[in-house]
Amino acid sequence: MDEGITLDRFLMQTGASHPSATGQFVTLLKQVTLAAKMISSRVNRAGLAGMIGATGETNIQGEFVQKLDLYANETLKRNLEHAGVVCLMVSEEEDEPVHIPEPFVPGRYVFCTDPLDGSSNIDVNATIGTIFGVFKRKSPDGTPGQLSDVLDRAGDEMVAAGYVVYGSGTLLVLATKESGVNGFTLDPSVGEFFLSHPDLRLEPSAKMYSINEAYRAKWDPRLAGYIDSLKAPELGFTQRYIGSLVADFHRNLLKGGLFIYPSTASAPNGKLRVLYEAFPLAYIAELAGGSATNGRDRILSMKATDLHQRTPLVIGNSELVAQATAALVAD
Ligand code: AHG
Ligand code: MN
Ligand code: MN
């Protein structure tokens, strides 16, 4: 009888293969899974649960905070702070790093998250998501987390990254160096995630590009030239852009494609954030056989010097990322 592999079972099987593991890593991922189920349930009922619309607040980036942004942020914090697995959290919705409150005990990991990505799509029932990346702390176990546990660290140092898409179904994608990239679909009738996309690899043939063309007049002309080149009819490209990074990335991962959020004259570092958007998705892209750059250098070689630092992002199939990056640095 094949009842499928639950995410829980997958974590226990893969976690058990690491004798040095203390169990904290598996517990962290289980708590994230629980938070994802709670957020998914709330997203599905948002129109009924009074969760549509803005709170009236703006976050550190000056963006309007939606009620679901806050719910997702609080849910992740609440599920992680008591479990003894995290010493520090970094969130798009928190100006400052989040420490572990008494009486709970700080654990071995730093959790960076965009609790709800694609906020502008909440009110229209389009796909949104949660993005996360995990570092192992550098400061001594058992002590409060330090900024140096997350700043000035290369994306390569992450030990896991993942995202959850709340779309027509809810899917959690988890990437670790040991197990690669695996996707799990939530069966809402059971309340469990089941392995549905084992060993995800970027589809090798890529015929889609994703960029907000409304900003074309603000682009570097070399980028405009490259995007124009993709429009040659014989190349057979089409364009898809939802406006939720996580959904655009997920589609491109399954179908093959290139996503770009470039620098512009008015925003030289683009819009997306290093620690909880670019790093996690770059980590997943590379483990799935793709790549990610900031238009010049590899994303995972960067080091964040600020919690909410932004970066341009060019991500997806390696060949297309290389082409776009070459075009952007050409004389
Ligand atoms: P968030 O909702 O977490 O603030 O992120 C929104 C981001 C990202 O998801 C998306 O790719 C991008 O904003 C879309 O921005 P534009 O409307 O400027 O294209
Ligand atoms: Mn976001
Ligand atoms: Mn967000």
What is the helix (H) or strand (E) element at residue 319, kind and residue range?
helix 318-329
How much is the average pLDDT of 261-272? 95
Domains annotated for the chain, with CATH where assigned, are 7-197 (3.30.540.10), 208-329 (3.40.190.80)
Confidence of residue 20 (pLDDT cuts 50, 70, 90): low
Two structure tokens written together for 155 = 């994306």
Beta strands across the sheet bearing 258-261: 238-239, 208-210, 258-261, 313-316, 291-293
State the pLDDT at residue 151: 98
Q: Which atom of ligand 1 is nearest to the CA of 116?
A: 3
- For residue 205, report the distance from its CA to the centre of ligand 1, in Å: 26
Q: Which atom of ligand 1 is nearest to the CA of 261?
A: 11
Average pLDDT, the chain: 94
301: Cβ–Cβ under 8 A, 6 or more apart, which residues? 154, 155, 156
Calpha distance 308→312 (Å, rounded) = 13
Smallest CA-to-CA distance from 127 within 173, 164, 76, 74 is with 164
Q: Which atom of ligand 1 is nearest to the CA of 118?
A: 2
Angle between helices 318-329 and 221-230 (to 10 degrees): 140
Query: Which one is predicted more confidently, 3 or 242?
Result: 242
Residue minimizing CA distance to atom 15 of ligand 1: 243
In short, whether 94's Cβ falls inside 6 Å of ligand 1 is no
State the pLDDT at residue 16: 60
With beta carbons less than 8 A apart as the criterion, state whether 244 and 117 touch.
Answer: yes
State the pLDDT at residue 15: 72
Distance of CA 45 to the CA centre of its chain: 23
φ/ψ (deg, to 5) at 45: -105, 10
State the pLDDT at residue 14: 85
- Give exposure, 219-236, as e/b (b: 16+ Cβ within 10 Å): bbebbbebbeebeeeeee
Q: Which of 45-59, 279-293, 298-312 is the least confident region? A: 45-59
Share of the chain above pLDDT 70, in %: 96
pLDDT tens for each residue of 99-137? 999 999 999 999 999 999 999 898 899 999 999 999 999
With beta carbons less than 8 A apart as the criterion, state whether 118 and 128 touch.
Answer: yes
pLDDT above 80 (res 2): no
In short, whether 218's Cβ falls inside 6 Å of ligand 1 is no
pLDDT tens for each residue of 185-240? 999 999 999 999 999 999 889 999 999 999 999 999 999 999 999 999 999 999 99
Two structure tokens written together for 124 = 């229209």
Confidence of residue 249 (pLDDT cuts 50, 70, 90): very high
- For residue 245, report the distance from its CA to the centre of ligand 1, in Å: 6
* Count of CB atoms situated within 10 Å of the CB of 272: 20
